Amino acid sequence: MLKRYKKTLLISAIAVGSLGSMAFVDDFFEISKNLDIFSALYREVNTNYVDEVEPAKLMRTGIDAMLKSLDPYTNFYSESEIEDVKFMTTGQYGGIGATIMQRRGEIIVNEPYEGSPAQQAGLRAGDIITAVDGRPVKGKTSGDITTFLKGQPNTTVTLTLLRPGEKTEFQKVLTRQEIKIKNVPYYSMINENVGFIKLTGFTQNAGNEVKEALAELKKNAGLKAIILDLRGNPGGLLNEAVNVTNVFIDRGQLIVTTKGKVVDNNRNYKTINAPIDLNIPVAVLTNSQSASASEIVSGAIQDLDRGVIVGQRTFGKGLVQNTRPLAFNTQMKITVAKYYIPSGRCIQALDYTHRNTDGSVGKIPDSLIREFKTVNGRKVFDGGGVTPDFATDQISLSSISQSLISKGLIFDYATTYRNKHASISPTKDFKFTDADFTDFEKYLADKDYDYVTASEKTLEDYKNAAVKEKYFEAIKPDYEKLKNSLKHDKLSDLVKFKEEITTLLENEISSRYYYQKGKIESALKRDKDVKKAIEVLSNTNQYNSTLAIKN
């Protein structure tokens, strides 16, 4: 009987092994066959297509389309794009330390970084670049100019510039440096008891930057709570997400698990360092643009009941990518696993595996969303990002504010203001006065910033539907009456949304004198999410009951 049982097991094992081998052979044959078909097709197109084709461009189109059918995060990088890959992981590049943009055919300095060669040379936001090393920029894209500005540290580049309001061009010779974009551009005490840390990325050293920021804040004797701001943070390195969490979580705690098709991608990531503070109350700010590594941090803080989440639901990216080297110094970034935070949930919101018939991607259906438990037994759910413990309304700008931003008028007025005023008060004290706003209204007098309100758009959609269904003539008088009553007035809208527009102007103007720190600090003055976080952190009973902490 035992021999027969062993024999059965052996036959089953051989059968399973054979099936596995057959599957491998079938896959290999399928790959080989399709490569042969593609190679023949590519050769035929290049040889016989009626017009000249660019082989490299044609191949890149095919590669990008193929990878796009998988998910947005699996990408190919040519040799010329490898520096971009390095920047995504290290936050470092060789250059002048400024971002640029293209508008109305001009290349404009968007933001010089504080302490960078651009800032030290006196470049300002709004300056127009007319030539690089004597070569006119006309006809070039902002991407082309960015490539010209980057280069090896200690090499020079000569910029010819024109400052708005001035008639004469001037030149600046800048020496490129190794530029490191900080993950923590700003931290400060925002009142006597609450510290604030803004984390904008997860490149190398993000954990140490948060650690150092908290250590500095702890030097304030009154510090009793911390706000960690992850709003707008798209993520980055997984190990840095673990390191950031480790600042508040003890050594040896499981933070994230990855699971993929290849066994080597199945890993557990635990904290390995001594924490900075295990007890200080923490509020993490999130919004719909907090993704990936940001969701690991916020999700782990929530699952371990180490702090509260304030703001809006996060993006819902629960996928992990690795970079793989390819031939001719090219690379690809490929999704290799899903990640699971301490409660065991995966927060991936979109299901790329099961696409709709038209190729679009749907969200994980409610019927498949599962319940999990935090350390203290609170209910949390998978399949749709991290849901905040204290939800706030998403910021929605008025139509006039959106128009002023998109037409560049907030930016341009701040440029004019900076050229007229050599200095302003410290950001916390700076106020855009009523007199300043009157000047802004005069500035707009000859500018085009018309827009369509949401109500006007809805009414127009209603009209189009009525015309299509042949009902419009019957309702035309009512339509015209409603249209006239809804018609917006730009001047009255300027008054109606004065506070909102003033906030935008204060933020932009502050950045012209105090750079990124100034813009962040200015925005904090009217930040409703921050106010809610302070309210929760100041109420010990509410904070503890939310986390199911027994007093």
The whole-angstrom separation of Cα 288 and Cα 313 is: 6
At residue 43, what is the residue type? R
Beta strands in 182-281 (DSSP E): 186-189, 194-198, 225-229, 254-259, 267-270
Per-residue pLDDT at 13: 46
What rounded mean pLDDT belongs to the chain? Answer: 91
Q: Is pLDDT at 475 greater than 60 in this prediction?
A: yes
Q: How confident is the model at residue 501 (pLDDT cuts 50, 70, 90)?
A: very high
Per-residue pLDDT at 23: 53
Residue 515's SS3 state is helix
Residues in the chain: 551
| CATH number, domain 92-180 | 2.30.42.10
Active site amino acids: 292, 303, 317
Mean pLDDT of 460-483: 83
Per-residue pLDDT at 487: 66
Tens digits of residue pLDDT in 143-186: 999 999 999 999 999 999 999 999 999 999 999 999 999 999 99
What are the CB-based long-range contacts (under 8 Å, 24+) for 533-542? 533/194, 533/227, 533/283, 533/285, 533/310, 533/390, 534/190, 534/191, 534/194, 534/227, 536/283, 536/308, 536/310, 536/390, 537/194, 537/224, 537/225, 537/227, 537/281, 537/283, 538/193, 538/194, 538/225, 540/281
The whole-angstrom separation of Cα 537 and Cα 530 is: 10
Tens digits of residue pLDDT in 61-90: 999 999 999 999 999 999 988 888 888 889
Of the candidates 275, 270, 302, the residue with the CA atom closest to the CA atom of residue 286: 302
Mean pLDDT of 324-341: 95
DSSP tag of 233: -
Per-residue pLDDT at 10: 45
Fold of the 186-394 domain: 2-enoyl-CoA Hydratase; Chain A, domain 1 (3.90.226)
Tens digits of residue pLDDT in 379-437: 999 988 999 999 999 989 999 999 999 999 999 999 999 999 999 999 999 999 999 99
Per-residue pLDDT at 325: 94
For 188, 308, 488, the CA distances from 519, given in Å and listed in that order, are 14, 26, 31
Mean pLDDT of 113-135: 96
Tens digits of residue pLDDT in 347-373: 999 988 877 777 778 888 888 899 999
Sequence-ordered alpha helix ranges (H) in 91-219: 117-120, 142-149, 206-217
Half-sphere exposure of 201 (CA within 13 A, CB side): 14
Mean pLDDT of 275-290: 97
- State pTM to two decimals: 0.89
Mean pLDDT of 507-522: 97
Give the tokens for residue 126. Answer: 């709004």
Of the candidates 32, 142, 43, the residue with the CA atom closest to the CA atom of residue 98: 142
Mean pLDDT of 133-142: 94
Burial 144-176 (b: 16+ CB within 10 A, else e): ebbebbbeeeeeebebbbebeeeeeeeebebeb
Domain chopping of the chain, boundaries: 1-44, 92-180, 186-394, 399-451+489-536, 454-486
Per-residue pLDDT at 177: 96
Radius of gyration of the chain (CA): 28
Q: How confident is the model at residue 9 (pLDDT cuts 50, 70, 90)?
A: very low
